[in-house]
Amino acid sequence: MIAKDASWKERLWTGIEETGLNVAALPEDLGGAGLGLNDSLGVLRMAGRAAISAPLAETLLAGWMLGAAGLEMPAGRIAFGPSSLFDHVTLHADGTVSGIVARLAFARECTYAALLAQGPEGLAVVMVALEAASIEHISNLAYDPVDRVTFSRCVRIATGRAPATFTADTALLMGAAARSLQIAGALEKILALTTDYVMQRRAFERLISGFQAVQHSVAQLAGEVAVSVSAARSAADALERLLREGRDFGDPELRLEVISAKIRAASAAQKGAAIAHQLHGAIGVTREHVLHRLTLRVLAWRDDYGNESQWRERLGQLICERGPDALWPLLATR
C-alpha cells in the first residue's frame, strides 16, 4: 500500500546506515566496509528485489568514488553524478563548481552530491552541498525524485584528483551497472510474484497455470529474468576484475560488459513488466498489490544513467571504431 506520509523514509534510511549498507563500497581505511565492487553491486541486486525508494545505490556509489579519490565520506544521503550522457560539471580554478545535472536521482532528499567534474588539471571528484544548488523537482514513473540540479559557482566541500583509471564516462558506467543490478533483482521478485499468482488464481474451474498460453508467458518472463541477471552479474564481476588488473574505464572489454548489461536489463524490464501485468490482470495495478511498485521502478530505472537507445549508439560506436576484425576477439574474451 502507499503510505499516508513519508515518515517511513527516515526509518528506512536509519536501518540502512545501522547495517552499513551505505558504506559497502567505501575502503576500510576510510571507515567503510570495503566489500569491493562485485559484492557491493550485489547488495543493490538484493535492494532491487525490495524496490526500495531510497538513494542507497547513489550513496553507495558516492562512497566508492569518494574513496577512490581518497576523500572521507560524510554521513547521510549522497547523490551521485553526472547521471546522463549530456551532463557536464566543471570545477573552476577558484574551487567552485558549475554545471547542470538533468536527472539527479533523490537530489531533494540528499544532503550532498558526489560528482565527477572536469577541472583545470583534469578530472576531479568533488563533493558539494545540495543546499547551495538550485533544484527543480521532477519525478519518474515510480514517483521517485529525478531532479534537475543546477550548480552555479557552488563552493565545493571536498575535492580530490580522480584516479588515472577514470574517464569522463566513469560515473555513467558505474550508475548504469548499478541500475542493471537493481533491475535484475526487481525482475527476480516480479517472477516470483507472478509464479505464485498463476499457481493460485483459478479461472474456468482450473488453475490458470494449467493453460498453455500462461505457461508460455511465464517461461518468457523467466528467460528475460535469467538473461538480465546473467548480464548484470557479469558486468559487476568485470568491473572488479578488470579494474584490479589496472584497466581503465575506456577499456573496450569493460565498456562492452557494462553497456551490454544496461541495454539487456532495460529491454528485460519492458518485456517483463508487460508479461507480469498481463498475467496478474487488474489486481497488479492496485494500491494494495506490490507488483506495480516493482514494475514502475524497473521501467523508471531504464532511463537513469543513459537509456538503452543512447547506450546502443555508444556500443555501436565502440564496435565501429575497432573495426570488424576486432569484434569476435572482443566477444570471445567474455
Q: Which domain holds residue 245?
A: 170-332
Domain assignment present for residue 144? The answer is: no
Q: Which of 105, 169, 9 is nearest to 301 (CA)?
A: 105
pTM assigned to the model: 0.95
Percent of the residues in the chain that have a pLDDT greater than 90, as a whole number: 87
Evaluate if residue 56 carries a pLDDT over 90. Answer: yes
161 vs 329, residue with greater confidence: 161
pLDDT at 2: 52
CA-to-CA distance for 314 and 11, rounded, in angstroms? 40
Mean pLDDT lowest among 10-14, 206-210, 215-219: 206-210
Number of domains in the chain: 1
Please return the burial class of 132, using the count of CB atoms within 10 Å of its CB with bins 0-12, 13-18 and 19+: middle
Identify whether 120 is preceded by a cis peptide bond (ω within 30 of 0): no
Domain assignment present for residue 80? The answer is: no
Evaluate if residue 172 carries a pLDDT over 50. Answer: yes
Evaluate if residue 3 carries a pLDDT over 70. Answer: no
Across 154-162, average pLDDT: 96
Domain assignment present for residue 27? The answer is: no
In this predicted model, what pLDDT tens digit does every residue of 119-143 receive, in sequence order? 999 999 999 999 999 999 999 999 9
Domain assignment present for residue 111? The answer is: no
Evaluate if residue 282 carries a pLDDT over 70. Answer: yes
Domain assignment present for residue 17? The answer is: no
Domain assignment present for residue 19? The answer is: no
Domain assignment present for residue 106? The answer is: no
Across 242-269, average pLDDT: 97
Name the residue with cell 583545470.
120
CATH code of the domain covering residue 220: 1.20.140.10
CA-to-CA distance for 183 and 197, rounded, in angstroms? 21
Domain assignment present for residue 93? The answer is: no
In this predicted model, what pLDDT tens digit does every residue of 89-122 receive, in sequence order? 999 999 999 999 999 999 999 999 999 999 999 9
Burial 14-32 (b: 16+ CB within 10 A, else e): eebeeeebbbbbbbeeeeb
pLDDT bin (cut points 50, 70, 90) of residue 324 is confident
Name the residue with cell 538484493.
46
- 311 neighbors 261 (Cβ within 8 angstroms): no
pLDDT bin (cut points 50, 70, 90) of residue 1 is very low
